[in-house]
Amino acid sequence: MVQVREHLYVGGEWRRPQGLNTIEIVSPVTEETIGRVPDGNRADIDSAVSAARTAFDEPGGWAQWEPGQRAEALNRFADALDARSQALAESV
């Protein structure tokens, strides 16, 4: 089954890409197409970079966190990935 994503995740929300081009995702195991994602163009990239800069500069955001706070967030993320490891493995 080919999974198709039609949006890009930018600035905390799913957005339609500016262009129409896509990238085919090929399984390294079967060499079959398993997915298709938007191929962001210059405007999409500029939008993503702007959102990232805004998030980075946000008072109280990641850049302002103490190392211990960052470690806690990364540990929660790792735990969430572990909890979904079987589903992630099966999605490839």
User: 43-52 pLDDT, tens per residue?
Assistant: 999 999 999 9
Cα-based distances in Å from 57 to 51, 53, 79: 10, 6, 27
Query: Six-digit token pair at 43?
Result: 């405007």
Cα-based distances in Å from 36 to 19, 45, 47, 61, 92: 14, 18, 21, 32, 13
pLDDT top residue among 36 and 91: 36
- What pLDDT was estimated at residue 88? 85
pLDDT category of residue 92 using cuts at 50, 70 and 90: low
pLDDT in tens, 54-84: 999 999 988 999 999 999 999 999 999 999 9
